[in-house]
Chain A
């Protein structure tokens, strides 16, 4: 359902997005995005890097958390700015829960916007991605 600017409240939570990436999905994303660094799939390189398993790409996790915003804002919402900080490692076959919350409705030179905080939690309870998104939403009066 398309949200309208007037109906959005600060503190409101956005519907979460849950993903459990398998190695196959990571390889598929690596191919589709041509980010082919082997620490994300090659057992030898993974061992040599001293990490316990293949690393889920930071940019794939960024794509997961971004979906929280794009799913919620609907086709009439516009994303203006996305800031993503990658804070920790994640590994395949773990449930990654992406969440979001409205933290502000600031006035800008281009009109009022909605600021959301977005983040990703892993099964260990760590927040490994944290960011913000600035979006504009349609108004009830049609503007």
Chain B
């Protein structure tokens, strides 16, 4: 049984550490450029095939925050669909580690899990901090990036 008055339900507790089904994203050059343009980021590494080919990367790579679009839909949906006493959702932030660049043509497999639940008293009252952890692997099996995302439910 969940503790009386706690926002942590038994259903939620059961999800901790459960790895999601992998989701696969094919990285298109056009998607990288569109993403960079929507940010207004003109860095040649994620905009210009010619200029980027003259750098140590030998071609275009994805910008650092590009992983924010490589979601794992199933896990993402659980964030919004979980029937919790705390209904409202806030994105509190991210931590991303980068090991290898993501390049056009890469096939990125994203797995994720609810890594941690914390209950806190904050400015918005009692809240849950849900930490989701995502692992991004490329077609050679290398982990290119690990991301952690803190979602607040209150």
Query: Residues of A with Cβ closer than 8 Å to B?
Result: 19, 25, 28-29, 31-35, 58-60, 62-64, 66-67, 70-71, 75-76, 78-86, 131
Chain A residue nearest to B34 (CB atoms) is A32
Cβ proximity bits B89-104 to A, threshold 8 Å, 1 near / 0 not: 0111111111000000
Q: Is the CB of B57 within 8 A of A80?
A: no
- Known contacts A29-B38, A80-B97, A81-B98; 15 further A-B pairs (Cβ under 8 A): A31-B38, A33-B35, A34-B71, A35-B69, A59-B68, A62-B94, A63-B39, A70-B43, A70-B63, A75-B45, A75-B56, A79-B98, A82-B95, A83-B94, A84-B95
User: Complex Cα distance A35/B31, Å?
Assistant: 14
Q: Are A85 and B93 in contact (CB under 8 A)?
A: yes
B34: min CB distance to chain A, Å: 5
- The complex places the Cα of A117 from the Cα of B121 at a distance, in Å, of 27
Contact pick for A66, options B35, B45, B64, CB 8 Å? B64
Chain A residue nearest to B90 (CB atoms) is A86
CB atoms of B92 and A85 under 8 A apart = yes
Task: Give Cα distance in the complex from A84 to B68, angstroms.
Answer: 12
Bound-state CA distance A76–B45 (Å) is 11
By the criterion CB–CB under 8 Å, are A76 and B56 in contact? yes
The number of chain B residues touching the other chain, given as a range, is 20 to 34
Does B5 count as interface, using CB distance less than 8 angstroms? no
Q: Is B39 a contact partner of A64 (Cβ separation < 8 A)? A: yes
Residues of chain A within 8 A of B68, CB atoms compared = 33, 35, 59, 62-63
Contact digits for B26-68, partner A, Cβ 8 Å, 1 yes 0 no: 0000010011011111011100000010011100000111001
Given contacts A59-B91, A63-B41, contact A82 B64 (CB under 8 A): yes
Q: Is the CB of A19 within 8 A of B95?
A: no
Instruction: Decide: A83 near B40, CB < 8 A? Known: A32-B34, A35-B69.
Output: no
